[in-house]
Amino acid sequence: MKTKAKKGHWYDYLWIWSIVYFALGFFNILFAWLGLIDFVLPLIFAIVGGNKWFCNHMCGRGQLFWVLGRNLKCSRRKQAPKWISSKWFRYGFLTFFMTMFGTMIFQTYLVFSGAESLRKAVKLFWTFKVPWKWAYNGSVFPDWVAQFGFGFYSLMLTSTLIGLIMMVLYKERTWCSFCPMGTMTQGICKIKAKEKEIDHDVK
């Protein structure tokens, strides 16, 4: 019956990273690639470690919603409707999100193959095109690299905006209850935990 001492950790400040990320991408879209870290790390934790350590301790986005919502009181802190954290909505949103991710990869491929030219714009909520010309003036990389940057940045910005809206309307980290990464990593962990239990029963 021991209580864990509350200690500060370096990773408690990763919410700063999520702000820095959007700032960097505002000036140069190639920085958008760094966002892949937030895609790959949680998956590594889930697949290798069978845990949600990323979500639980080091997700800058989740922390940002907490800092703004709780510490800066920007949240109504009301319970969101139940369906938002229901399985069908979570997996439905994950499917939608992955479809959009696929579309973005395809768009990158079109630029790579030369079928389409680079579009210097950020698409918000998969609908509204916002000109983002200043963030790219050519580089040593081919155009598709920048196209992926614009696409990925759009995805990151859109999901953060949805999260911020949810934060204001409902509880601070309501986004986490249907975040595609969260759903995916929990799904992987559940499969892994089942496998372990079966291993245990066999022995």
Partner 1 sequence: MRKAANDISRCVACGVCALQCPRGAIDIYRGCYAVVDVKTCVGCGICEKACPAGSIRVKETEEASK
Tokens of 175: 């986004």
Of all residues in this chain, which one has the CB nearest to ligand SF4 in the complex? Answer: 182
Residue with Cβ nearer ligand SF4 (57 or 120) = 57
Size of the site for partner 1 (CB under 8 A): 43
Copy the structure tokens of residue 104: 């973005």
Q: Which of 32, 157, 181, 189 binds ligand SF4 (CB under 6 A)?
A: 181
How many other C-beta atoms lie within 10 A of the C-beta of residue 64?
A: 23
Q: Does 122 bind partner 1 (CB under 8 A)?
A: no
**The pairing of beta strand 121-124 with beta strand 128-131:** antiparallel
Scanning 44-52, 91-99, 116-124, 136-144 for contacts with partner 1 by CB under 8 A, the matching segment is 44-52
51 interface partner picked from ligand SF4, partner 1, none, CB below 5 to 8 A per type:
partner 1
188 Cβ contact partners less than 8 Å away, ≥ 6 residues apart: 43, 46, 47, 50
Helix ranges restricted to H, the chain: 15-27, 37-44, 53, 60-66, 87-113, 143-169, 180-202
d(CA 151, CA 154): 5
The residue range among 27-35, 84-92, 93-101, 122-130 that interacts with partner 1, by the rule CB under 8 A, is 84-92
Binding flags for partner 1, 136-175, as an x/- string (CB under 8 A): ----------------------------------xxxxxx
Single out the residue of 40, 161, 190, 198 in contact with partner 1 (rule: CB under 8 A): 190
Q: What are phi and psi of 123, to 5 degrees?
A: -105, 120
Amino acid in the structure at residue 133: K
Q: Is 186 exposed, middle or buried (0-12, 13-18, 19+ CB in 10 A)?
A: middle
Partner interacting with residue 61 (select from partner 1, ligand SF4, none; CB below 5-8 Å by kind):
ligand SF4
Which residues, 6 or more positions from 128, have their beta carbon under 8 angstroms from its beta carbon?
Answer: none
Shortest Cβ 45–partner 1 spacing (Å): 8
- Positions touching ligand SF4 (CB under 6 A) are 42, 55, 59, 61-62, 175-176, 179, 181-182
Q: What is the binding site for partner 1 (CB under 8 A)?
A: 1, 3-6, 45-46, 49-53, 55-57, 62, 66, 77, 79-80, 82, 85-86, 90, 170-178, 182-183, 185-186, 188-190, 192-193, 196
